[in-house]
Amino acid sequence: MNESTDIKLDRLFKIEEDRPEAKTELVKVNSNYDDRNLDKEEDYKESRERFYNLLDKGNDALANALEVAKDSDQPRAYEVVSMLLKTVTETNEKLIDLQLKMENLKQLGEPTPTSITNNALFVGSTHELQKLLKGEKKDVNEHNSDGG
């Protein structure tokens, strides 16, 4: 009467369900190129939209800060305007970088033209090949047709 550990644990915890047999199933994961392209496009659009939002808010904040700086005539207010101006400029540069990166990703995704290799086959003796390579060639085809 040697019961398995599972049966003993089931009885101890009052589990009455039958355990389904474990099934192993091989699932093939297919990375879909089109899905990645869609993700790239969506990410690009979302990032671009956020950059434009940041630029709009930054321009509004810059206008308000400049107004405050003019009214208060305080050096600290002008320092804040300077920092906001720098931040808006950097955000604009990042937007341009995003566009360049997206262009690079699109170029990477495009199929590259295949190169064509034409293989030439020389039929003849090594002596004829040496003459051909040295440029001392008579017409090789004529020589081959002469039988020698």
Element housing 112 (H / E): none
pLDDT digits (tens, 9 = 90+) for 4-62: 777 777 777 777 765 555 555 655 555 555 566 678 888 889 999 999 999 999 999 99
143 vs 129, residue with greater confidence: 129
What per-residue confidence (pLDDT) applies to 131? Answer: 85
pLDDT digits (tens, 9 = 90+) for 67-117: 999 999 889 989 999 999 999 999 999 999 999 988 888 887 666 666 677
What's the CA dihedral at 35, 40, 42, 48 to 10 degrees? 180
> How is the chain split into domains, by residue range?
32-108
What CA–CA distance (Å, rounded) separates 20 from 6?
12
The gap from C-alpha 98 to its chain's centroid, in whole angstroms, comes to 13
What per-residue confidence (pLDDT) applies to 113? Answer: 63
What per-residue confidence (pLDDT) applies to 15? Answer: 73
Q: How much is the pTM?
A: 0.48
What per-residue confidence (pLDDT) applies to 133? Answer: 84
> For 32-108, CATH number?
1.10.287.1060
